[in-house]
C-alpha cells in the first residue's frame, strides 16, 4: 500500500491526472472516428460542402446535354408519361443528330397504356375488323424498342426499399469483374428493383440505376457508382453510359479490406469511397445544359447541342418531384446531378476521399494530441491561444491545399476536435486546480491576513513562494502588560478570562490586518505579525508603525468601555496595557513545519530582535520600541526618540533602539522637540562618560516634562550612571549596554 501511495504521488507530481484523462480522450476520439456516428460524419461533410461552395468545379467542356421534359414541352405535348411512339421519335431524332449515348433518367416499368391492342380491348363501338387491325399493329413498346436497338441507349432503373415482384432472371445485366476483396459487402443494398418492360430491356445497350440517395441532412454529395438491388450488382446510370460510350464489355471493381477503391472501364478509372460512391465535384447550376424535348421533336434544336454528346433525358419540372439539394444549390434537378457526374469523369475533374485519408487523420490527431498533452501545461494562456490558432490554421490550410490542388478530401475536423477537446480539458483542469489553489490560499491566509490581501493573493498565487523565501520584512511582537495579575482575578472564572482575551486580541488583530499586516501566530496574550509577505509592501515599516499606534488607540478605547462596565457592575477596574516591539531586517518566510502540518511563518535574527525589543518596552517606559532600520525608514513620519545603544542577549552586535511617541503632529510639537533635544544631550554626555552632564540633562528634562512621560527612562539612566560612577566601564566602552534578560 505504501509503494502504491508513493507511486500515485509520483505520478501526480510528474505526469498529472489531467494528462492521463487527456490520453483517455485521445483514445476515445480515435474510437469515435472509427465508429463515425452521424453527428461526426455530418460535421465532416459540412466542411467539404464549404470547400465546394468556395471553389466549385470550373467547366472546361460541355460533353453532356440534357433533353428536358419541362413545363413547356408538357404544355404542348400533353402530360407525362407520353406515348412510347413519341419517345421513340425523340430517340430517333437524337440518334440522327449524332448523340453518342442516350440515357433515360426515367423508368418504363409498365407497358404503354396507349398500345394498339389495349385500345382494341378498351375502345367501345368498334367493329371486329377494326379491333383485329388494331391488334395486328406493332405495340408502342415495340416501336420504342426498335428505336432503342437502332441507337445506343441506356435505360434507367430504380432501387426500391422493398421487393415488389420476383426478379426476372431472363433480363440482361451488365458484365462485372472483381479485383481484390468481395465488393458486394460494401455496396448499398436495395431490397427491391424497378426495371423496364422486357422488350425495352433486351433492346437497350445498357442499363443502370439512377437512384440518388440524399444523406441524412437531405443533401446530395455522393452518388453510388455500383449498387446491389434485389440480389443483382448494378452500375449507376452514368457509369453505364461511360461503359457503353467506350465500348467496354465489363466493369472492373477494385476493392480492399477497407472497402471499394475504384471502378474501371476502358480508358476510365473513377475513385470511390468505401461504399462505391463518387464524391460529386459540383459546378453551379448550368441552364445551358438543357434542351426542351419539344425543340428536339420539332427539329428546332441546334445540331451542335446534340452531336458528339452524351444525352440524358429527364425532367426539371417541379411537379415530377425530381429536385435535389446539393452543396452548391438548393434546387438542382436529379438529371443535372447525373450530368455533373459525367462532366467530372469526362473532364478528369473528380474529387475523392482516399482510403489512406483516415490514416493521415489518425496520425495527425495522435501527433498533435501528444504534443498538446506534453507541452500545453508549460505555456501561458496567450501563447496557448496563439499556438492553437496556428495549429487550426495549419490543419485547415492543409485540408484546403489537398482539395484545391489535388481534389482530395482530407478531413481536418477529427484531429481538430480531438486536439481541442484535449486542450479544453487541460484548460479546465488548470482552472479547477487554480480554484482549489485559491481556496487553499484563502483558507490558509484568511486567519492572519486582511480579506483584501487574501483576495489579492488568491488572484495572483504566483506571488506566494512556498517553502521559504528570503526578503526584507518588518516584524512585530506585542504583549499584554501585567497579564499574570489580571489572570489571577479570573482564577474562578476561566470563561471570563477567555472572553477578555478575545476582546483584547480582536482590536489588536484588526489594527494589524487593517495596515496590510500578516498574523503569524497568537501566543496566549501575545501576537506575532509581519509585513511585506506574502505580498510585497513597499511601505512595510510605515504600515507596521501605524498599526502599532492604532493598537494603542484601540486598547485605550477598550479600557474606557471596560472602566464604564466595571463602574456599572461595582467591581474593580484593572486597565489593559500593551507593549510592542518592531524591527526591520532580512528574514526567511514561507511554509514551515512538517509534511503533516505546517504554517506560513518567518524566522531569522531580525525576528529575535523584535521579540527582545517588545520585552524591553516596560523597562524604558514606552509602549512602542523599534530597531534602528525601522526608525530610520519612518523618521519623517513619526515622533521618533532615541532610547539606547544595547547589546541584546544572544547577539554579538549592539543595536540603537528608538521609541515611537506619536505621529507627525506630535513630532512637530514644541514640547516633544525640547524633550528630544534634552534626551540627545543626555545620551551624548552618557556615552562620553560625562556623568554629571548627563544627570544635569535629566533634571532639566524633568522640569520641562510636566507629564513626566520620560520618568522611567530617566530613572533607568540614573541607576546606570551611579553604577558607572562606582565602577567605571572599560576604556574601549562604546556606550552599549548589555541586557541581561530577554
CATH class as words, domain 441-738:
alpha beta
Please name the residue that has the C-alpha cell 511617541: 661
Q: Please, are residues 152 and 244 in contact by the beta-carbon 8 Å criterion? A: yes
Of 42, 20, 681, the closest CA to residue 413 belongs to 42
- Pair type for strands 206-209 and 153-160: parallel
pLDDT at 20 over 70: yes
- Give me the pLDDT at residue 10, please: 43
pLDDT at residue 128 above 50?
Answer: yes
CA distances from 493 to 68, 488, 540 (A): 110, 10, 40
Which residues have CB under 8 Å from 8's CB, separation 6+? none
Helices (H), 236-289: 237-246
Task: Report the percent of the chain where pLDDT is more than 70.
Answer: 90
pLDDT of residue 741: 61
DSSP 659: E
Q: Residue 209 forms beta bridges with which residues?
A: 157, 236
The model's pLDDT over 130-160, given as tens digits with 9 standing for 90+, comes to 777 877 788 889 999 999 999 999 999 999 9
Of the ranges 159-173, 421-435, 494-508, 613-627, which one carries the lowest mean pLDDT score? 421-435
What pLDDT was estimated at residue 11? 43
Q: Mean of the pLDDT values across residues 319-343?
A: 85
DSSP structure string for 678-699: HHHHHHHHHHTT-HHHHHHHHH
DSSP string, 306-366: TTT-EEEEE---GGGT-EEEETTEEEEEHHHHHHHHHHHHHTT--BB--TTHHHHHHHHHH
- pLDDT (tens digit per residue) in 563-606: 999 899 888 888 999 999 999 999 998 877 665 556 778 989 99
Asked if residue 530 has pLDDT above 90, the reply is yes
The residue ranking higher by pLDDT, 611 or 365, is 611
Q: Which residue has the cell 494562456?
A: 381
Query: In 3D, which of 67, 64, 65, 95 has the Cα closest to residue 292?
Result: 67
Residue ranges covered by each domain of the chain: 2-53+355-402+409-423, 58-346, 441-738
pLDDT of residue 89: 94
Q: What is the pTM of this model?
A: 0.59
Q: pLDDT digits over 596-606, tens only?
A: 556 778 989 99
pLDDT greater than 90 at residue 649: no
The mean pLDDT value of the chain amounts to: 85
Q: Helix, strand or coil for residue 250? A: strand
pLDDT band at 638 (very low <50, low <70, confident <90, very high): very high
Helix 451-459 to helix 413-445 angle (10° resolution) is: 160
CA distance 553 to 568: 23
Residue 13 pLDDT level (bands cut at 50, 70, 90): very low
Between helix 413-445 and helix 38-54 the angle, nearest 10°, is: 120
- Helices 711-726 and 670-687 sit at what angle, rounded to 10 degrees? 10
Of the two residues 585 and 20, the one the predictor is more confident about is 585
CB 332 within 8 A of CB 280: no
How do residues 436-466 score in pLDDT, each as one tens digit?
Answer: 766 665 665 555 555 555 565 556 555 454 4
Q: Does residue 79 carry a pLDDT above 90? A: no
Confidence category of residue 316, pLDDT binned at 50, 70, 90: confident
Lowest-confidence segment of 443-452, 498-507, 522-531, 641-650 by average pLDDT? 443-452
Q: How far is CA 389 from CA 379, 383, 394, 395, 420, in A?
A: 14, 10, 8, 10, 11
| DSSP E strands, 71-147 | 101-104
Amino acid at each position: 500500500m505504501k509503494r502504491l501511495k508513493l507511486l500515485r504521488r509520483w505520478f501526480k507530481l510528474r505526469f498529472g491526472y489531467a494528462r492521463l484523462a487527456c490520453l483517455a480522450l485521445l483514445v476515445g476520439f480515435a474510437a469515435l472516428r472509427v465508429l463515425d456516428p452521424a453527428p461526426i460524419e455530418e460535421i465532416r461533410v459540412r466542411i467539404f460542402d464549404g470547400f465546394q461552395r468556395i471553389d466549385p468545379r470550373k467547366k472546361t467542356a460541355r460533353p453532356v446535354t440534357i433533353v428536358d421534359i419541362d413545363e413547356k414541352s408538357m404544355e404542348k405535348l400533353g402530360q407525362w408519361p407520353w406515348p412510347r411512339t413519341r419517345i421513340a421519335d425523340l430517340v430517333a431524332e437524337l440518334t440522327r443528330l449524332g448523340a453518342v449515348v442516350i440515357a433515360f433518367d426515367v423508368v418504363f416499368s409498365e407497358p404503354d397504356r396507349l398500345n394498339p391492342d389495349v385500345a382494341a380491348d378498351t375502345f367501345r363501338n368498334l367493329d371486329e375488323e377494326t379491333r383485329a387491325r388494331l391488334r395486328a399493329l406493332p405495340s408502342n413498346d415495340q416501336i420504342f424498342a426498335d428505336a432503342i436497338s437502332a441507337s445506343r441507349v441506356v435505360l434507367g432503373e430504380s432501387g426500391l426499399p422493398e421487393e415488389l415482384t420476383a426478379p426476372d432472371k431472363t433480363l440482361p445485366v451488365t458484365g462485372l469483374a472483381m479485383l481484390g476483396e468481395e465488393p458486394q459487402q460494401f455496396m448499398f443494398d436495395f431490397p427491391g428493383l424497378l426495371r423496364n418492360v422486357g422488350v425495352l430491356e433486351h433492346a437497350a445497350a445498357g442499363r443502370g440505376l439512377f437512384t440518388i440517395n440524399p444523406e441524412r441532412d437531405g443533401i446530395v454529395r455522393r452518388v453510388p457508382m455500383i449498387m446491389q438491388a434485389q440480389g443483382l450488382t448494378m452500375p449507376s446510370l452514368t457509369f453505364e453510359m461511360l461503359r457503353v460510350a467506350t465500348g467496354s464489355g465489363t466493369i472492373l471493381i477494385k476493392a480492399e479490406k477497407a472497402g471499394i477503391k475504384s471502378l474501371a472501364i476502358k480508358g476510365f478509372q473513377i475513385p470511390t469511397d468505401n461504399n462505391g460512391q463518387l464524391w460529386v465535384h459540383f459546378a453551379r447550376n448550368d441552364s445551358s445544359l438543357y434542351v426542351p424535348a419539344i425543340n428536339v421533336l420539332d427539329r428546332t434544336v441546334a445540331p451542335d447541342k446534340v452531336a458528339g454528346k452524351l444525352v440524358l433525358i429527364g425532367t426539371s419540372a417541379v411537379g415530377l418531384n425530381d429536385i435535389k439539394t446539393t452543396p452548391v444549390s438548393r434546387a438542382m434537378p436529379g438529371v443535372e446531378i447525373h450530368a455533373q457526374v459525367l462532366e467530372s469523369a469526362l473532364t478528369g475533374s473528380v474529387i475523392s476521399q482516399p482510403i489512406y485519408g483516415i490514416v493521415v487523420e489518425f496520425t495527425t490527431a495522435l501527433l498533435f494530441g501528444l504534443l498538446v498533452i506534453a507541452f500545453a501545461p508549460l505555456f501561458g494562456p496567450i501563447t496557448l491561444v496563439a499556438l492553437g490558432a496556428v495549429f487550426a490554421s495549419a490543419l485547415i490550410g492543409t485540408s484546403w491545399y489537398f482539395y484545391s490542388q489535388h481534389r482530395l478530401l482530407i478531413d481536418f475536423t477529427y484531429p481538430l476536435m480531438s486536439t481541442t477537446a484535449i486542450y479544453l480539458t487541460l484548460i479546465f483542469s488548470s482552472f479547477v486546480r487554480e480554484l482549489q489553489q485559491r481556496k487553499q490560499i484563502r483558507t490558509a491566509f484568511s486567519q492572519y491576513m486582511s480579506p483584501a490581501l487574501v483576495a489579492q493573493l488568491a488572484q495572483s498565487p504566483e506571488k506566494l513562494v512556498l517553502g521559504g523565501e528570503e526578503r526584507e520584512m518588518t516584524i512585530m511582537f506585542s504583549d499584554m502588560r501585567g497579564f499574570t495579575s489580571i489572570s489571577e482575578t479570573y482564577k474562578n472564572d476561566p470563561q471570563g478570562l477567555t472572553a477578555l482575551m478575545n476582546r483584547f486580541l480582536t482590536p489588536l488583530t484588526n489594527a494589524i490586518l487593517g495596515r496590510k499586516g500578516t498574523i503569524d501566530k497568537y501566543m496566549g496574550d501575545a501576537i506575532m505579525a509581519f509585513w511585506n509577505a506574502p505580498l510585497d509592501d513597499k511601505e512595510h515599516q510605515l504600515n507596521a508603525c501605524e498599526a502599532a499606534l492604532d493598537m494603542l488607540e484601540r486598547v485605550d478605547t477598550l479600557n474606557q468601555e471596560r472602566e464604564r462596565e466595571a463602574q456599572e457592575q461595582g467591581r474593580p477596574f484593572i486597565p489593559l496595557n500593551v507593549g510592542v516591539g518592531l524591527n526591520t531586517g532580512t528574514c526567511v518566510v514561507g511554509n514551515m513545519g512538517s509534511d503533516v502540518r505546517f504554517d506560513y511563518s518567518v524566522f531569522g535574527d531580525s525576528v529575535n530582535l523584535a521579540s527582545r525589543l517588545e520585552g524591553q518596552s516596560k523597562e524604558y517606559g514606552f509602549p512602542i520600541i523599534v530597531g534602528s532600520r525601522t526608525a530610520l525608514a519612518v523618521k519623517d513620519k513619526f515622533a521618533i526618540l532615541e532610547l539606547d545603544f544595547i547589546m541584546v542577549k544572544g547577539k554579538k552586535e549592539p543595536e540603537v533602539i528608538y521609541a515611537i511617541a506619536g505621529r507627525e503632529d506630535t513630532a512637530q510639537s514644541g514640547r516633544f522637540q525640547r524633550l528630544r533635544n534634552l534626551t540627545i544631550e543626555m545620551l551624548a554626555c552618557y556615552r562620553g562618560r560625562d556623568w554629571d552632564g548627563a544627570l544635569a540633562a535629566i533634571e532639566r528634562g524633568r522640569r520641562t516634562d510636566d507629564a513626566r512621560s520620560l520618568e522611567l527612562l530617566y530613572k533607568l539612566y540614573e541607576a546606570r550612571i551611579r553604577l558607572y560612577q562606582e565602577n567605571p566601564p572599560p576604556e574601549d566602552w562604546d556606550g552599549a549596554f548589555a541586557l541581561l534578560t530577554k
